[in-house]
Amino acid sequence: MEPVIIVLIILVVLVFIALIKTIQVIPQASAAIVERFGRYTRTLNAGLNIVVPFIDTIRNRIDLREQVVPFPPQPVITQDNLVVNIDTVIYYQVTDARAATYEVASYIQAIEQLTVTTLRNIIGGMDLERTLTSREEINAALRGVLDEATGKWGIRVNRVELKAIEPPTSIQDSMEKQMRADRDKRAAILQAEGVRQSEILRAEGEKQSQILRAEGEAKAAALRAEGEAQAVRTVFEAIHAGDPDQKLLSYQYLQMLPKIAEGDANKLWIVPSEIGDALKGLSGAMGNFGGLGGGSGGNGGGSGAGVPAQERREKPSID
C-alpha cells in the first residue's frame, strides 16, 4: 500500500503544479509574453489567463506604465570646443510588449546609447551660450530622434529633459564674473535713476512749495491791505460822522507825540512843522476855557486874572 500512497501523493503534487502553471494572473498595466516550445505564441493581458502547462512558458513580464530613467552625466563637446557634462532624464512607455522583447536585446541600454549619440550630434552644432539657453530646443530635437528610432522597438518616448548642463570650472568662474559685473552695472544704473528721480521730485516739491508760499503771501498781503483799507475807511467815516473841530485834532496830535518817541532805538526824532499849528489850536482852546473861568470868578479870581485884556481879546481871533 505504501507505493500506492506515494504515487497518489506524487500525482496530487503534479496536478497542483499543473494548475498553478495553467492559471496565470497578470496585474493591471502589465503584459506577459508566452512561448510554446521556444516560439512566441501570444501576449497575456491583465487579468486571469489560461495556458497549457509544461508546454507554454512565460518568457517575459513587461510593465506597461510610463517609466523614468535617469542617465549619468555625459561629456559633450560644443561647437566652440568646450566640454560640458549633461545629465538627461528619459520618460518612456512600452506600447508593444512583443516588439520590446524580440526587436531589441535591452531597450534601456539601447535608449541610453541612442540618447548619448543624438545629444552629441545636437550639441556639436551649438556654441556654449546657445546650449545653456536652448534647453527646450534640445529637448524637442532629442525627443523627435528618440521617438522615431524607438518606435520599431515598441517604445514611445514621451519626454526628454536635460537635468543639468555643467560647463568647465574656468568657464563657470568667467560666467559668474560676467554676471556679477552685469548685476553691478544694473544696480548702478538703477541707483543713478533713483537719485535722478529723487532730485526731480525734490525740485518739483520745492517749486510747488515756493509757488504755494508766494500765493499764500500774496493772498495774506491782499487781505491785510484790504483790512487796513477797511480800518482806515471806518476811522475816516467815524471821524466825519463825529464832525471833530481843529481843537480836538490838535489835542489828539499832541497825545501821539510821546508814542512816537517811545523805544530804545529812537535816539533822534524830528518835530514836524505841523506842531506849531497844533499848539496854536490848543492854546486857543485853553484861552477860551480860561476866559470862561475868569467870567465866572469875578475880577479878582480865576486863572485869567493875570492875562492882559489885550491878549484875551486877541485869543478868539486865533480860532
Shared-domain flag, residues 84 and 153: yes
Mean pLDDT of 170-178: 77
Mean pLDDT of 94-122: 90
pLDDT digit string (tens) for 284-318? 555 554 544 444 444 434 334 344 433 443 444 43
User: What is residue 313's predicted lDDT score, i.e. its pLDDT?
Assistant: 39
User: What is residue 262's predicted lDDT score, i.e. its pLDDT?
Assistant: 64
Q: Which of 62, 80, 114 is the last residue of a domain?
A: 62
Mean pLDDT of 175-186: 83
Count of structural domains within the chain:
3
Q: Which of 222, 241, 260 is the last residue of a domain?
A: 241
pLDDT digit string (tens) for 3-55? 778 878 888 888 788 788 888 888 998 999 999 888 999 999 998 888 888 88
Q: With respect to residue 163, please indicate whether it lies within any of the assigned structural domains.
A: yes
Shared-domain flag, residues 116 and 72: yes
- Lowest-confidence pick of 112-121, 162-171, 273-282: 273-282
Q: Which of 136, 170, 204 is the last residue of a domain?
A: 170
Mean pLDDT of 221-250: 76
Residue-range definition of the domain harbouring residue 116: 66-170
Shared-domain flag, residues 106 and 139: yes
- Report pTM: 0.52
Q: With respect to residue 297, please indicate whether it lies within any of the assigned structural domains.
A: no
* Distance of alpha carbon 9 from the chain centroid: 84
Instruction: Give the integer Cα–Cα distance in Å for 313 and 301.
Output: 18
Shared-domain flag, residues 166 and 73: yes
The full DSSP string for the chain is -HHHHHHHHHHHHHHHHHHHHHEEEEPTTEEEEEEETTEEEEEE-SEEEE--TTTEEEEEEEE-S-EEEEEEEEEEE-TTS-EEEEEEEEEEEES-HHHHHHT-S-HHHHHHHHHHHHHHHHHTTS-HHHHHH-HHHHHHHHHHHHHHHHGGGTEEEEEEEEEEEE--HHHHHHHHHHHHHHHHHHHHHHHHHHHHHHHHHHHHHHHHHHHHHHHHHHHHHHHHHHHHHHHHHHHHHHHHHH---HHHHHHHHHHHHHHHH-STT-S--PPPTTHHHHHHHHHHHHHHHHHHHHHHH-SS-STTTTS-HHHHHHHHHH-
Residue from 59, 56, 34, 57 nearest 45 by CA:
34
**Residue predicted with more confidence, 57 or 269:** 57
Q: With respect to residue 155, please indicate whether it lies within any of the assigned structural domains.
A: yes
- Lowest-confidence pick of 166-175, 192-201, 294-303: 294-303
Shared-domain flag, residues 108 and 193: no
